[in-house]
Homo-oligomer: A and B are copies of this chain.
Amino acid sequence: MSSAHQTVTAYWAAVEARDWETLAGLVAGDVFYEVPQTRERVRGREAFVRFCAEGFPGDWHITVERAVGQDQHAATWVLWSPGEDVTQSGVSFFDVGGDGRITRITDFWPEPYEPPGNRAHLVERG
């Protein structure tokens, strides 16, 4: 198990536990967070932890579906559940610095959409 894998597993455990002190210790002082879909960006540990602690109210839960780590990089796929019978996939790419702290996080929150009809004969629907 790579160090980056362990770091991002600890990251999601801290988020699930709302353990903001542990989360702060896992990210670099100059961590950069971005959501390309919304063009949201957060710079620095203090702003990032505040974003996590205050930006997502509610009794949601996170489970890790996949975590992959290699050298200074990692990727995760999580299931975010804001309530019963609802889940939303979240995908994140992480860069990890030489001291083991996360320096960059890129989040994606892909939502359902209807596929183009031109490929309907090539697939089944679940």
Contact = CB atoms under 8 A, between A and B. Distances in A.
Interface in A81-119: 89, 91, 93, 106, 108-115, 118-119
A33 B50 CA distance: 38
A68 B74 contact: yes
Copies in the complex: 2
Interface residues of A, number: 46
Give the most central of A40, A41, A73, A123: most B CB within 10 Å.
A123
B55 A119 contact: yes
Give the most central of A5, A37, A74: most B CB within 10 Å.
A37
Interface in A50-84: 50-51, 54-57, 66, 68-70, 73-75, 77
Contacts of A118: 55, 57
A54 B119 CA distance: 8
Contact of A122 (B2, B50, B125): B50
B113 A89 contact: no
Contact of A41 (B47, B77, B113, B123): B123
